[in-house]
Amino acid sequence: MKKKKKNQMPKQNIFLYRIVQFLAWFVAVFAFRRKFLRNEIKGKKGPFVIIANHEAALDFVNLIGATRTPLSFVISNSFYNTLPFKSVVSRLGMIPKQQFQTTLRDLGAMRSTIKDGKILVIYPAGLMCEDGQSTPIPAATYEFLKWLNTDVYVAKTIGTYFSMPKWAKGIRVGRTFIDVYKLFDKDTLREMPLDEVKAKTSEALDFDAYLEQEKLKIKYTKNDHIEGLENVLYVCPNCMGEFTMRTKKKKTIYCVQCGFEETSDKYAFLHNKKGVGEEVRHVSVWSRMIYNNLKEKVEEGKIKKISTMAKVQTIDPKKHKYRDAGRARITLTPDTLSIKGTLNGEEVDLAMPTISFPSLPFKPGRNFEIQHGEVSYRCFPQQPLVVMKWVNLVKIFYEIKTKEKEAEAEAKAKV
């Protein structure tokens, strides 16, 4: 019997892969109404890596049909561990990876995929967006691309955010696009300065779905239904009241404090018809305003800590699903994200550096997840509306800490 190599993934089952590929094709054609702008990987063999933006949970269905050559998708370890048929998923060539924290095992599995002549697919942001705009990309991504020493392609998806908004339920049928093209040749990438790799990668993956929609004007089913959006747009742009936003009659979002109100149209744009405050047409603009206002408070020293008691769940390895583990106090400061409480009958007291988390996996108005080693803690705050504020603060602290680290490295280089 041949001994399995270290980091070698189970052999991909082509029969199973073709079944999934067909099902994905069906969703891509009839639900997402996918259209290729370019497809430079059609019929192409590996090895190479594809990096993709992440607008919706099912973005992969638009990509998996781009070529008959099997693709190896990198997925989150917590998602993988909650699947009832993990052995089947591993046979599809998927590679589980700790979210925002890459272990030597993860690196080995991905490098092995490339060395075996296969095609690796990663979503650098790690999370689908909640407001139609790009989420932060971990700083280590750019070094990782150089380290893989292979050609790099981009799969840029347009429109899937409106087909599956993170704050809503179900699929909204409408036209989506995908543009697949080569970004870096491996020889060019090897010699390219890291700053240039970062700039070109960010430019390729950055998006604002609402600005794109201004040009495309695509109608999606129930595109004007915005229940759940108040969990993302939790600050009123008129009176700046926090957690004062509500929705009504499916199409209207309003502030209970000052009467600010906007109604959505068939293109998902917002309109102020009551004259209270100034109109904010795009969800992405409103969300960015919330983020920038919060960042300003952090920089002024007005926010130094946020803390909440939360119900915590962890994954039951036997049942492959999250189960109640207990309660804990979750605390976030500019330097650390900590968990303290009794979970699964044991005292837990963890503190993790904020620079380890570009963001957190989350469901708006419900929960967020904290990954520590092999354990994923799903936290349900006492006040569910605070989830988006926590996620924004994690992003802000990561951004600040990353810039500080870059400045220190630059200063050392000049000495």
20 inside domain: yes
Q: Out of 135-139, 264-268, 337-341, 375-379, which region has the weakest mean confidence (pLDDT)?
A: 135-139
Interstrand relation of 176-184 and 152-158 (parallel, antiparallel or unpaired): antiparallel
Residues 53 and 165 in one domain: yes
321 inside domain: yes
Cβ contact 56:164 at 8 Å: yes
Residues 149 and 246 in one domain: no
Burial (Cβ within 10 Å: 0-12, 13-18, ≥19) of residue 4: exposed
The neighbour count for residue 83, using CB atoms within 10 Å, is 16
Cβ contact 77:99 at 8 Å: yes
Among 181, 216, 251, where does a domain finish?
A: 216
Cβ contact 313:381 at 8 Å: no
3 inside domain: no
Residue-wise pLDDT tens digits, 228-237? 999 999 999 9
- Mean pLDDT calculated for residue range 3-22: 75
Residues 177 and 277 in one domain: no
Residue-wise pLDDT tens digits, 347-361? 999 999 998 888 999
Distance in angstroms between the alpha carbons of the first and the last residue of the chain: 56
Interstrand relation of 362-363 and 346-353 (parallel, antiparallel or unpaired): unpaired
Between CA 156 and CA 179 the distance in angstroms is 5
In the predicted model, is pLDDT for residue 8 greater than 60? no
Residues 144 and 179 in one domain: yes
The number of folded domains in the chain is: 3
- For 239, list phi and psi in degrees, rounded to 5: -100, -5
Residue-wise pLDDT tens digits, 46-78? 999 999 999 999 999 999 999 999 999 998 877
Tokens 């988006």 -> residue = 388
Residues 311 and 348 in one domain: yes
5 inside domain: no
Model pTM score: 0.91
221 inside domain: no
In the predicted model, is pLDDT for residue 178 greater than 90? yes
Cβ contact 362:376 at 8 Å: no
Tokens 């589980």 -> residue = 96
Residues 54 and 141 in one domain: yes
Between CA 101 and CA 202 the distance in angstroms is 20
Domain interval for residue 41:
14-216
180 inside domain: yes
1 inside domain: no
In the predicted model, is pLDDT for residue 379 greater than 80? yes
Residues 190 and 246 in one domain: no
Q: In what order do the strands lie in the sheet with 252-255?
A: 245-248, 252-255, 261-264, 270-271
Confidence of residue 2 (pLDDT cuts 50, 70, 90): very low
The neighbour count for residue 266, using CB atoms within 10 Å, is 14
Residue-wise pLDDT tens digits, 77-119? 777 777 766 667 778 888 888 776 667 788 888 999 999 999 9
Residues 173 and 78 in one domain: yes
Between CA 388 and CA 233 the distance in angstroms is 8
Residues 96 and 204 in one domain: yes
Sign of CA dihedral 350, 135, 27, 164: positive
| Type of residue at 320 | H
Residues 195 and 117 in one domain: yes
Residue 91's pLDDT is: 82
Percent of the chain with pLDDT over 70: 95
**Averaged pLDDT of the chain:** 91
What CATH code is carried by the domain that includes residue 68? 3.40.1130.10
Cβ contact 262:272 at 8 Å: yes
In the predicted model, is pLDDT for residue 288 greater than 70? yes
Confidence of residue 201 (pLDDT cuts 50, 70, 90): very high
Residues 137 and 243 in one domain: no
The neighbour count for residue 363, using CB atoms within 10 Å, is 17
What CATH code is carried by the domain that includes residue 325? 2.30.29.30
Between CA 159 and CA 100 the distance in angstroms is 25
Among 274, 299, 324, where does a domain finish?
A: 299
In the predicted model, is pLDDT for residue 1 greater than 60? no
Residue 400: name the closest of 198, 195, 136, 202 by CA. Answer: 136
415 vs 224, higher pLDDT: 224
Residues 46 and 20 in one domain: yes
Q: Which two tokens stand for residue 135?
A: 């989420």
Among 167, 192, 216, where does a domain finish?
A: 216
65 inside domain: yes
